[in-house]
Amino acid sequence: MHSTWLLTSLSLLLTPLVAATPSSQPAHAVSQVYDTTDRIPLPNIGHIAAHDPNIILWDNWYYLFQGGVGILIHRAQNLSGPWEDVGTVLSGPSVIHTQNRTRPWAPTTIHTNGTFYCYYTLSEHGSRNSAIGVATTTSLTGKSQDWTDHGAIIHTGNGNGSDIYPFNVSNAIDASFITDNSTGQSYLNYGSFWTDIWQVPLSDDLLSLKDPTNPDAVHLTYLPEQKQRPEEGSWMSFRDGYYYAWFSHGKCCRFQKFPGRGKEYEIRVGRSTNVRGPFEDKDGVQLLDGGGTVIYASNHGVVYAPGGLGVLPGNDSTATPDILYYHYLNTTIGFTDEDARLGWNYLKYEDGWPVVIEGNDIGNATTSNAGSVISAPGGFALTMAMSLWLYI
């Protein structure tokens, strides 16, 4: 892919300057597979362990949902903490009979019409036997008995409806949610590896597919020329006329064996004026053709494999910016799923493309002169190539 090519050639170009090592080095040379770039800003530290975090702002509290026994809920009045334990969504195993029912993954919670909907995943690493279910509550007290588990919306691999296209070729994990402003129709986005990411319309009660036997799915992202298709963790946001399809690209976890540099998780995006796509990246490459503009990636030799993201919408009337949040590994701490930490950055938009802001100064996100940020790997590569030219 274009931007991957640029990043790869960039890291080769920069090798003498930053003592980085090309990805052909043995994977055990751990310190040499980190990206040491300082062109991508460090995160604001969330001060909480989180893998695939999901955050909503409700009643002046940030509620953080994440995978764990019953789906864990924490809350804080500041994204940098301190976080307090609120409880869990489920008080026992999910009503869905697939995989490990006690430990759902990757929730996405939304609030509408007085009800909170928590879309969650049951799966197992490397398996397509997966399901996306939903639980609801009318209050976020955290007492799990307040939530009602409505069970599965999508099965893949096995289970009801898993023989229907595209459920027979996709992996029902990592749900995200978007409502089409102009029609009021809501959609679930999901998918991981296999055929990457899909979108299906939901019924008006948001608890099932609009038409389970003819799901009217659209394909959102795909890596057509690869055997491994590491795109997952979809998110969709809307701002100023564009829908943004976000996802994580690369290897998420299990870093007992390190992938080549740049093959670990990173956060990519494409946009469309239509909620159903097609989505394309900043270089005009379709997300269905392997496209995706890199918005956040490993940096400073400290932040590794950021992904599992979400976007908290800003508020136009008070000019608060959108916030990108995600998990990352701190290379000085460790590389297990439990080592993943919450990080976040304000976003600003340049020509309608999101740019990650350094620091937690809201003013830096709402003025046009933000400091040391990247706009895109393409732009970054160009800038660096130009400075190298001057340097040489």
Ligand X SMILES: *[C@@H]1O[C@H](CO)[C@@H](O)[C@H](O)[C@H]1NC(C)=O
User: Binding to ligand X by residue 210, rule CB under 6 A?
Assistant: no
What is the smallest separation between the CB atom of 280 and ligand X, expressed in angstroms? 19
User: Binding to ligand X by residue 21, rule CB under 6 A?
Assistant: no
Contact 159, 131 (CB under 8 A): yes
- Pick 6 or 343: Cβ nearer ligand X: 343
Six-digit token string for 3: 């931007």
* Catalytically annotated residue among 35, 52, 281, 322: 52
Alpha helix locations (H) across the chain? 2-18, 362-366, 377-391
Total residues interacting with ligand X, rule: CB under 6 A: 37
Looking at 13, 61, 185, 212, which residue binds ligand X (CB under 6 A)?
Answer: 212
Site for ligand X in 111-150 (CB under 6 A): 113-114
User: Binding to ligand X by residue 102, rule CB under 6 A?
Assistant: yes
What is the smallest separation between the CB atom of 160 and ligand X, expressed in angstroms? 4
Whether 338 is a known active-site residue: answer no
Looking at 126, 332, 338, 391, which residue binds ligand X (CB under 6 A)?
Answer: 332
Looking at 372, 383, 385, 387, which residue binds ligand X (CB under 6 A)?
Answer: 372
- Pick 24 or 182: Cβ nearer ligand X: 182
Dist CA 374 CA 240 (whole Å): 21
Stretch that binds ligand X, among 266-274, 345-353, 360-368, 374-382 (CB under 6 A): 360-368
- Pick 16 or 114: Cβ nearer ligand X: 114
CB atoms closer than 10 angstroms to residue 148: 14
Task: List, in sequence order, every beta strand (DSSP E) within 261-385.
Answer: 266-272, 293-296, 303-312, 323-330, 341-350, 353-356
Contact 53, 45 (CB under 8 A): no
Stretch that binds ligand X, among 129-137, 193-201, 315-323, 380-388 (CB under 6 A): 315-323
* Catalytically annotated residue among 231, 232, 281, 322: 232
Rg (CA), the chain: 20
Closest CA to 268 of 241, 250, 242: 250
Six-digit token string for 41: 């800003």
User: Binding to ligand X by residue 318, rule CB under 6 A?
Assistant: yes
Q: What share of residues in the chain are helix, strand, coil (percent, to 5)?
A: 15, 40, 50
Q: State how far the alpha carbon of 60 is from the alpha carbons of 75, 78, 141, 354, in Å.
A: 10, 9, 14, 25
- Pick 15 or 102: Cβ nearer ligand X: 102
Closest CA to 311 of 206, 388, 237, 225: 237
Stretch that binds ligand X, among 9-17, 161-169, 225-233, 379-387 (CB under 6 A): 161-169
Site for ligand X in 240-299 (CB under 6 A): none
User: Helix or strand or coil: residue 324?
Assistant: strand
Six-digit token string for 47: 């001060």
- Pick 81 or 285: Cβ nearer ligand X: 81
Dist CA 34 CA 30 (whole Å): 7
Looking at 169, 319, 385, 388, which residue binds ligand X (CB under 6 A)?
Answer: 169
Whether 52 is a known active-site residue: answer yes
Six-digit token string for 49: 């362990």
Task: List, in sequence order, every beta strand (DSSP E) within 100-196.
Answer: 105-112, 115-122, 130-137, 148-156, 176-179, 186-191
Six-digit token string for 25: 């080095």
Site for ligand X in 26-65 (CB under 6 A): 42-43, 45
What is the smallest separation between the CB atom of 5 and ligand X, expressed in angstroms? 28
Contact 47, 57 (CB under 8 A): no
Q: At what angle do helices 377-391 and 2-18 cross, to 10 degrees?
A: 40
User: Binding to ligand X by residue 333, rule CB under 6 A?
Assistant: yes
Residue found under tokens 């919408």: 313
- Pick 20 or 236: Cβ nearer ligand X: 236
- Pick 61 or 238: Cβ nearer ligand X: 238
Question: Per-residue x/- marks for ligand X, 58-97, CB under 6 A?
Answer: -----------x--------x-x-----------------
What is the smallest separation between the CB atom of 16 and ligand X, expressed in angstroms? 26
Footprint on this chain of ligand X (rule: CB under 6 A):
42-43, 45, 69, 78, 80, 100, 102-103, 113-114, 160-161, 165, 168-169, 181, 204-205, 212, 238, 302-303, 315, 317-318, 330, 332-333, 341, 358-361, 364, 371-372
Q: Looking at the annotation, which residues are catalytic?
A: 52, 232
